[in-house]
């Protein structure tokens, strides 16, 4: 048996998957409808919407199989997400990668597999797959039909993203941040890794709207978000909480290191202001708070602490 390789973009792929807040949610008719359709269309006993997490393959929809997940190490879908096309195994007993796989030798006794990767923002999060307990061929028109169904699943997954991404700036919104940040803090607490939150609020944002109009105000918000994305690391969680409030959670980062990050970010923003004279400067106030599992049992406490510090800093500027 061959374990599936790990994709090169694994870190960002997992970050994208977890940002949807879809893992371990209840079954939904909009997904079950598509797996039922796949089961009926291809006359197979099993059809799944499968999402590949760090160590497991979890089923958002599972028709014909009495399980909610399986190990990623023995999953077929772990192999499927490594390529761009439909991954097909006409007969598992004739394929050295799968002939001795536990899912082949025992329940559900997989002999045929076809899985179409499900992509979001260019990252393959899982598959729509069909499984049979006898070998079979899969023609070009079958491949196209499975792709069409997979694109419908992708649209449903995209609706999760719309609920967690800020429409204007295309970074996480408050809901998305709360999910991702809490996951990061849980990891930091378990591994005793430092983390620091920076709460940011734009300075003199209302005058930009009043003098230059709301379209220009939107552009200032987009610019600030883009500067955040280019300045911070992929492992950091950046978000627009609402209005002109932004936040970043820096993992494996002390408070002193976070202040250094912010100083570099402020420098890049000032450089942008000099190069792009729009009649106003984009500037911000910020509050920095280092994560303590005892003081901040949940992300809400850490966020409130950062907001309070930022407010004091902003008040001192007036």
Q: Is 253 helix (H, G, I), strand (E, B) or coil?
A: coil
Specify the pLDDT at position 194: 93
pLDDT tens digits, residue range 268-292? Answer: 999 999 998 889 999 999 999 999 9
Q: In the predicted model, what is the mean pLDDT of the chain?
A: 94
Of 151, 281, 168, residue with least CA distance to 221: 168
Residue ranges per structural domain of the chain: 10-162, 174-317
Q: How far apart are CA 298 and CA 260, in angstroms?
A: 25
Would you identify the CATH topology of the domain 174-317? Alpha-Beta Plaits (3.30.70)
Length of the chain counted residue by residue: 318
- Residues 127 and 34: beta-carbon distance below 8 Å: no
The CATH class of the 10-162 domain is alpha beta
Q: Is 224 helix (H, G, I), strand (E, B) or coil?
A: helix
Confidence class for position 110, pLDDT limits 50, 70, 90? very high
Specify the pLDDT at position 143: 96
Specify the pLDDT at position 190: 85
pLDDT exceeds cutoff 80 at 208 = yes
Q: How far apart are CA 109 and CA 209, in angstroms?
A: 63
Tell me the CA end-to-end span of the chain in Å, nearest whole number.
67
């Amino acid at each position: 048996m061959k374990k599936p390789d790990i994709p090169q973009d694994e870190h960002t792929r997992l970050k994208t998957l977890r940002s949807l807040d879809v893992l371990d949610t209840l079954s939904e008719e909009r997904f079950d409808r598509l797996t039922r359709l796949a089961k009926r269309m291809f006359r197979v006993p099993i059809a799944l919407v499968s999402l590949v997490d760090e160590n497991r393959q979890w089923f958002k929809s599972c028709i014909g199989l009495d399980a909610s997940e399986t190990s990623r190490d023995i999953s077929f879908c772990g192999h499927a997400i490594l390529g761009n096309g439909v991954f097909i195994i006409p007969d598992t007993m004739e394929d050295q990668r799968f002939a001795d796989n536990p899912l082949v030798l025992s329940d559900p006794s997989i002999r045929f597999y076809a899985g179409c990767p499900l992509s979001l923002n260019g990252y393959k999060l899982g598959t729509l797959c069909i499984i049979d307990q006898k070998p079979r061929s899969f023609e070009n028109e079958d491949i196209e039909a499975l792709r069409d169904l997979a694109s419908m699943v992708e649209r449903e997954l995209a609706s999760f993203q719309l609920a967690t991404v800020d429409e204007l700036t295309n970074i996480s919104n408050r809901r998305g941040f709360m999910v991702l940040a809490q996951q990061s803090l849980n990891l930091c607490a378990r591994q005793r890794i430092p983390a620091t939150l920076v709460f940011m609020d734009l300075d003199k944002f209302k005058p930009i709207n009043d003098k230059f109009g709301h379209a220009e105000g939107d552009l200032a918000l987009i610019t600030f978000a883009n500067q955040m994305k280019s300045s911070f690391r992929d492992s950091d969680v950046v978000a627009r909480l609402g209005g002109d409030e932004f936040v970043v959670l820096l993992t494996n980062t002390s408070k002193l290191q976070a202040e250094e990050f912010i100083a570099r970010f402020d420098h890049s923003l000032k450089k942008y202001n000099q190069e792009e004279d729009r009649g106003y400067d984009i500037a911000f106030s910020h509050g920095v708070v280092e994560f303590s599992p005892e003081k901040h049992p949940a992300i809400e406490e850490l966020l409130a602490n950062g907001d309070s510090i930022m407010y004091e800093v902003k008040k001192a500027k007036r």
